[in-house]
């Protein structure tokens, strides 16, 4: 499974600003800490989650790990999918975590995925492929990467395509891999664009018939 490790090393969370552009939390992520704090105090749980993330990593403010984790924990308890997602990121980050807890990371991602949060599904797929905090299931991971690509997570498209091109967790399917790469490229993923260029010329006609 060395190939899986290489593939997944390339899949990571985008910057807060990039993540903001992906969903309904855009007004809060990337905002300055003063505004986030004001909105958090006003009861906007997503703002509390974004504030917690900013404090943990010292984004636009002095780093305050304890306060940041407190905001994330509270936001997650209030069922903020963003709070739980960022909390999972912090728990598995060796640079800021108080103690790695792989099983909790998986629980947080799975809960978010069950609530239709595509980024949580993408990172749950990564953990399944790694066998991190859960029994390794490369077949399910490959399927989930494909599903999250279709859900609009462009970064997942190149990973799903590589699984198909290499026959990892799924039957080799160059045509489908090409379609996923085309979709990811259209959605702005540079790795998908690069991967698209590597496909054999023979796939060109089929790809031009892609609905994407």
Determine the pLDDT at residue 196.
87
Residue 3's pLDDT is what? 56
Q: Would you state the pLDDT for residue 57?
A: 86
H-type helices in 12-153, by residue range?
16-20, 33-41, 45-57, 65-77, 81-91, 102-114, 118-130, 138-150
- Block means of pLDDT (10 residues each) for the chain, length 212 residues? 56 50 51 87 92 88 92 95 92 82 95 93 92 94 95 92 90 93 93 84 47 38
Give the N- to C-terminal CA distance of the chain in Å, as an integer. 31
Residue 8: the pLDDT is 62
* CB atoms inside a 10 Å sphere around CB 91: 21
Q: For residue 144, give every residue at least 6 positions away whose Cβ sits within 8 Å of its Cβ, in sequence order, or none.
A: 121, 122, 124, 125, 128
- pLDDT value, residue 59: 81
User: Would you say 139 and 164 are in contact if contact means Cβ atoms under 8 Å apart?
Assistant: no
- pLDDT at res. 207: 47
pLDDT at position 21 is 43
CA distance 69 to 2: 34
**pLDDT at position 100, please?**
79
């Amino acid at each position: 499974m060395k190939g899986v490790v290489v593939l997944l090393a390339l899949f990571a969370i985008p910057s807060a600003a990039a993540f903001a552009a992906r969903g309904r939390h855009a007004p809060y992520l990337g905002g300055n800490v003063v505004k986030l704090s004001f909105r958090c105090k006003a009861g906007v749980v997503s703002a509390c989650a974004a504030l917690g993330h900013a404090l943990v990593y010292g984004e636009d403010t002095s780093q305050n790990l304890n306060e940041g984790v407190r905001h994330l924990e509270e936001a997650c308890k209030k069922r903020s999918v963003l709070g739980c997602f960022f909390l999972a990121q912090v728990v598995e980050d060796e640079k800021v975590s108080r103690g790695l807890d792989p099983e909790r990371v998986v629980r947080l991602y799975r809960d978010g995925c069950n609530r239709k949060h595509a980024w949580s599904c993408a990172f749950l797929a990564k953990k399944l492929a790694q066998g991190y905090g859960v029994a390794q299931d490369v077949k399910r991971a490959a399927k989930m990467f494909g599903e999250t690509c279709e859900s609009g997570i462009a970064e997942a498209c190149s990973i799903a395509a590589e699984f198909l091109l290499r026959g990892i967790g799924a039957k080799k399917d160059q045509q489908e891999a090409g379609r996923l790469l085309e979709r990811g490229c259209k959605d702005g993923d540079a790795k998908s664009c690069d991967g698209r260029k590597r496909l054999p010329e023979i796939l060109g006609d089929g790809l031009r018939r892609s609905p994407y």
